[in-house]
Amino acid sequence: MRETPFSLDLMRSPKEIAWLLRWLRETQRQLPRRQWQHGVFGRSWDREDCLRSLKQDSLEDASTIWQAICEHELTGKWPKISGKAAYFLRERIAEAIVLCESWFRQNEVSDIPQPEQPSDSEGLVKAAVITHWDEQGAAIWLEDHKDDFFEDHAWDELFKQDPAYGIHDDYP
Would the pTM count as exceeding 0.85? no
- Residue 139, number of CB atoms within 10 A of its CB: 14
pLDDT by residue for the chain (172 residues), tens digit each? Answer: 455 555 555 578 999 999 999 999 999 999 977 666 665 555 556 778 878 888 888 899 999 999 999 999 999 999 999 988 999 999 999 999 999 999 898 888 888 899 999 999 999 999 999 999 999 999 998 888 777 766 554 445 444 444 444 444 444 4
d(CA 75, CA 82): 19
CB 61 within 8 A of CB 13: no
